[in-house]
Amino acid sequence: MIITPEENELLLELAAQFDYPEYAPEKHITRKQMAQTWGISENGASYRLEKLVQNGVLEVETVLLPDGNKCKGYYRA
């Protein structure tokens, strides 16, 4: 199969959309960590974290965990 330069560009663009940064403990926090810290459910932690994102205190990105799973990583704005 021969791939044209245009097709190659599209493939690289699509691959980049799924190239998640790795979880960095010095930068990111997860809802599971905050649920344990706050002593509440993960859904409650998610709600609080999303409110902080809406208020501009935190930003969020999808990160790749060491076990290969993905989750939201929250960090300071």
> Which residue ranges make up each domain of the chain?
21-76
Place of tokens 């930003």: 59
Q: 10 pLDDT exceeds 90?
A: no
Enter the pTM of the model: 0.78
pLDDT at 26: 96
In this structure, which topology does domain 21-76 adopt according to CATH? Answer: Arc Repressor Mutant, subunit A (1.10.10)
Residue 33 CB neighbours (<10 A): 14
Q: pLDDT tens across 14-59, in order?
A: 877 778 899 999 999 999 999 999 999 999 999 999 999 999 999 9
Residue 75 burial (CB count, 10 A): 14
d(CA 68, CA 50): 24
